Amino acid sequence: MYVKKVAVIGAGTMGADIAYTLALTNIPVVLRDVDDSALKRAQEHIQGLFAQRVAKGRLTAPDADQRFARIVFSGDPAALQDVSVAIEAVPEKMALKQKVFQELDRLLPPLAILATNTSALSVTEMARVTSRPERVAGMHFFYPAHMMKLVEIIAGSDTEPDVLKTLSRLSEEIRKIPVVVKECPGFVVNRVLTASMAEVMRFKAEYGYSAQEIDDVIVRHQIAPLGPFTLADALGLDIAWDVAQTLQAAYGDRFDPGPELPQLVAEGHLGVKTGQGFYTHNRS
């Protein structure tokens, strides 16, 4: 299937990074959100990413402007009418994702592919609220999406092989490495990552070390490029908590992150996006 245009639904951090990655390779993109302020923040974020490439000599200013112009920032459903692939990147709530998929099913051409960027939820459960479950799959990017190479391509119970091939080719076109995986809660990477993050968070609560001390040791010994608490703050603690709950329900208490993560979320401290999480962040 030829991909003429891609829509990204949800203009948060992941959605903006995915839209930038697509536009960088000259693929026309519609970045849709119902929140005008989210679209404005996404536009500023993407402009900043292009400006960084220009400053490093990786793009000329005219090239950056031309590629940025590939993105349409819109809250208008009519902007989706000629889209080949839609990538949903809204928060990790099944009811919300199903609502988005029902709307996309109504708006998009019959052969358009509906993809979800979910970290852990069932692709099949989302697909079956649409009239085209065979055209639904997972396309899971990793944070930060404009830098991380891996993309998990996830087949639901009804997904056609051609859909997986199209999403894999699209991933390669935007210079990513697609890996087709089976559907299960957390898929492959987050099943491993969330278990390790939960263990580290329980260790922090049990032994009283600070987030900074733990992150410093992990980075210094090159166990990971980012410490788990830095990563959680960047991802959003609400998302980390949603994923942890999904995987704990599926696999048991080894995915229990301990008391601090749910407490921070309950207090509205969600990491970088609110200015406070495991760390304090400057939001200016």
pLDDT digits (tens, 9 = 90+) for 176-235: 999 999 999 999 999 999 999 999 999 999 999 999 999 999 999 999 889 999 999 999
* Same domain, residue pair 77 and 166: yes
Q: Which residues are catalytic?
A: 152
* 3-class secondary-structure state, position 150: strand
Mean pLDDT of the chain: 96
284 — pLDDT class (breaks 50, 70, 90): low
Separation between Cα atoms, residue 273 and residue 239, nearest integer Å: 12
Domain boundary among 156, 181, 206: 181
pLDDT of residue 225: 87
Structure tokens at 52: 């960084």
Separation between Cα atoms, residue 116 and residue 209, nearest integer Å: 37
Among residues of the chain, what percentage have pLDDT more than 70? 99
pLDDT tens profile 117-138:
999 999 999 999 999 999 999 9
User: Mean pLDDT across the stretch 247-268?
Assistant: 97
pLDDT of residue 264: 98
Structure tokens at 107: 């708006």
pTM attached to this predicted model: 0.88
Asked whether residue 217 is domain-assigned, the answer is: yes
* Same domain, residue pair 246 and 142: no
Asked whether residue 277 is domain-assigned, the answer is: no
pLDDT tens profile 28-75:
999 999 999 999 999 999 999 999 999 999 999 999 999 999 999 999
DSSP state of 128: T
β-strand partners of 139:
153
Tell me the residue range of the domain where 200 lies. Answer: 189-266
Number of domains in the chain: 2
Return the CATH number at 261.
Answer: 1.10.1040.50
* Same domain, residue pair 34 and 119: yes
β-strand partners of 117:
none
Structure tokens at 120: 């852990």
DSSP state of 26: T
Q: Single out the residue of 131, 139, 202 nearest to residue 9, CA to CA.
A: 139
